[in-house]
Amino acid sequence: MTIDYSRARELMVEQQVRPWDVLDMAVLDVVGRLPREAFVPEAHRALAYADLELPLGHGACMMKPVVEGRMLQALQLQPGDSVLEVGTGSGYTAACLGALAREVVSLELVPELASVARARLDATGLGTNVRIEVADALQYAGERQFDAVCITAAVAEVPPRFLQWLRPGGRLFVVRGKAPAMEAVRMVRGEAVNAAATESLFETGLGYLHGAEPVPQFLF
C-alpha cells in the first residue's frame, strides 16, 4: 500500500499539532511542509505521522509530533537566530530549527546517530545551515552563546551550563523532573547568567539525556 505522506502530514497538523495549542503560523508551516518520513527509520516509516514516539536505536526516540510542535513554538525563533540543539537524534528537529532560524549547532552523543542524521539532512537538502557535532552536552565546552537552546531529552534538574549557553533574553526549552511528573518549561535568561524566568508549558514524558537521570535514592 502506498502512503500519501503529504496528506498524512496535513492530517497531523490539523488533528494533532494545531489542537495541542500550536498556533504559530511559521511553526505550522514548517511541520506541514518538511518530510518527516525521510527522517524515520525504514521499519517505522508508515508511522511517521502517528501520535507516537518512534525508536531510533541506541536508546533514542523521535518525539511525538505534538511535543515537537510545542517545543518549536516555545523557542519563538526569528529568521536571524542561532540555535543550539542537544540531542540530534533523527535530524528532523534540526531540520525544523534550520527552517526557522539562521543557523543550528546540534550535539549528538552517539556517532552513528549523528552520521545517519547528517546523511538524511543532506539527502533532503534541509541541512545547509545545520552543523552536527559529536559531543556529550554535559561536558561540552563551547564558548558561544545562542539565541535559543533546545534540549530534546529530559533532565532531572536543569544543569546551569544550559543557561550559560544563552545570550541575555535567550530562550531554553527543556523537559525536567522525575517520571511520571515531568514538565516542559521555557526559561528566558536575564542579564545575569543565574537569573532566568521560568514558564511551565505542559506535562509530558521523555527519556533522559545521558548523564542527566535522577540520582538513585537509597533507602536504609
- Whether 215 has a pLDDT exceeding 90, the answer reads no
Phi-psi sector, 151: left (phi>0), alpha (psi -120 to 50), beta: beta
Q: What is the per-residue pLDDT across 152-202, written as a single tens digit (0 to 9) for each?
A: 999 999 999 999 999 999 999 999 999 888 999 999 999 877 779 999 999
Please provide the average confidence, as pLDDT, over all residues in the chain: 95
pLDDT of residue 22: 98
pTM reported for the whole predicted model? 0.95
Nearest CA among 179, 176, 219, 201 for reference residue 69: 201
pLDDT of residue 143: 84
pLDDT of residue 69: 98
What is the rounded CA–CA span in Å between residue 190 and residue 198? 11
Positive or negative CA dihedral for 193, 195, 204, 97? Answer: negative
Positive or negative CA dihedral for 206, 134, 27, 15? Answer: negative
- Whether 4 has a pLDDT exceeding 80, the answer reads yes
What is the rounded CA–CA span in Å between residue 74 and residue 109? 24
- Whether 53 has a pLDDT exceeding 80, the answer reads yes
Q: At what angle do helices 92-100 and 111-124 cross, to 10 degrees?
A: 50
CB 12 within 8 A of CB 65: yes
Provide CB contacts within 8 A for 52, sequence distance 6+. Answer: 64
Nearest CA among 151, 148, 159, 126 for reference residue 63: 151
Q: What is the per-residue pLDDT across 56-108, written as a single tens digit (0 to 9) for each?
A: 999 999 999 999 999 999 999 999 999 999 999 999 999 999 999 999 999 99
CB 159 within 8 A of CB 147: no
Lowest-pLDDT range of 1-5, 23-27, 182-186: 1-5
Nearest CA among 22, 164, 132, 143 for reference residue 172: 164
